[in-house]
């Protein structure tokens, strides 16, 4: 395993405050955006950790900043759902865990199994990211066969991954802090390198601009 690969794996130990702090510093987006009346609008909803870490890894590897997650206008609506049926479409802005009618229909479509939670939220966001507002029937069908909740698909859930591999560990919190500090130290070192590179680039550009002309 090379150093970059090791760093990228250990970034899974960063907590929300730590990875969002790095993103804020480098203007890496982690808020979901929506299109409304043709205009881009930032929401209070945030991307999952795995998506944000992927953006951070790309930035570390290439210096490039990926744009935010954007839900297209056709999957956005803030009109409250009423008269809900299996054919009702679910848009961003309409998912409401307190809407008893919505939950009743979803449970009827999943044999009583549906429940609000991480899997339900991840799955519906995948639909919206793909530019589709699914009917509740489509959403329920996808929920029943979804594997997004399987631990194998979430290496960013470092605690659960470690616990399954090594069993309960009373010192895991200390381990997380140690690994996170190590990752942040490397990232801070990269910060300084980025600054030096930027200063060098700006200096070269300035020298090119101020290069004296030879008058014959």
Amino acid 121: pLDDT = 93
Number of domains into which the chain is organized: 1
**Residue-number span of the structural domain to which 107 is assigned:** 79-156
Q: Which structure tokens are listed for 130?
A: 């793909």
Q: Is position 126 within any domain?
A: yes
H or E element in which residue 31 lies: strand 31-36
Q: Is position 16 within any domain?
A: no
Euclidean distance between CA atoms 106 and 95, whole angstroms:
12
Question: Which residues, 6 or more positions from 122, have their beta carbon under 8 angstroms from its beta carbon?
Answer: 48, 148, 149
Comparing C-alpha atoms, which of 123, 137, 127 is closest to residue 87? Answer: 137
Q: Is position 55 within any domain?
A: no
Structure pTM?
Answer: 0.79
- Using an 8 Å Cβ cutoff, are 72 and 92 in contact? no
Quick: pLDDT tens for 165-200. 565 566 778 888 999 999 999 998 886 665 555 545
H or E element in which residue 96 lies: none
Tens of each residue's pLDDT in the chain, 216 residues: 567 889 999 999 999 999 999 999 999 999 999 999 999 999 999 999 999 999 999 999 998 999 999 999 999 999 999 999 999 999 999 999 999 999 999 999 999 999 998 889 999 999 999 999 999 999 999 999 986 655 455 565 655 565 655 655 667 788 889 999 999 999 988 866 655 555 455 445 444 443 333 322
Taking the mean position of all CA atoms in its chain, how far away is CA 141?
24
Q: Is position 98 within any domain?
A: yes
């Amino acid at each position: 395993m090379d150093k970059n690969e090791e760093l990228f794996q250990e970034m899974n130990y960063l907590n929300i405050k730590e990875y969002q702090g790095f993103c804020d510093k480098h203007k890496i987006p982690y808020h979901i955006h929506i299109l409304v009346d043709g205009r881009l609008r930032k929401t209070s909803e945030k991307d999952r950790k795995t998506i944000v870490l992927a953006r951070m890894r790309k930035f570390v590897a290439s210096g490039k900043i990926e744009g935010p997650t954007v839900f297209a206008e056709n999957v956005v609506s803030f009109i409250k759902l009423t008269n809900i049926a299996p054919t009702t479409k679910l848009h961003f802005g309409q998912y409401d865990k307190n809407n008893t009618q919505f939950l009743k229909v979803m449970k009827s479509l999943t044999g009583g199994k549906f429940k609000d939670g991480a899997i339900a939220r991840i799955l519906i966001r995948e639909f919206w990211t793909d530019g589709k507002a699914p009917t509740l029937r489509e959403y329920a069908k996808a929920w029943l066969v979804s594997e997004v909740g399987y631990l194998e698909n979430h290496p960013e859930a470092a605690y659960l991954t470690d616990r399954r591999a090594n069993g309960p560990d009373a010192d895991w919190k200390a381990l997380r802090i140690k690994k996170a500090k190590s990752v942040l130290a490397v990232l801070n070192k990269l910060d300084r390198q980025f600054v030096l590179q930027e200063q060098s680039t700006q200096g070269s550009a300035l020298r090119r601009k101020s290069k004296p002309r030879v008058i014959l």
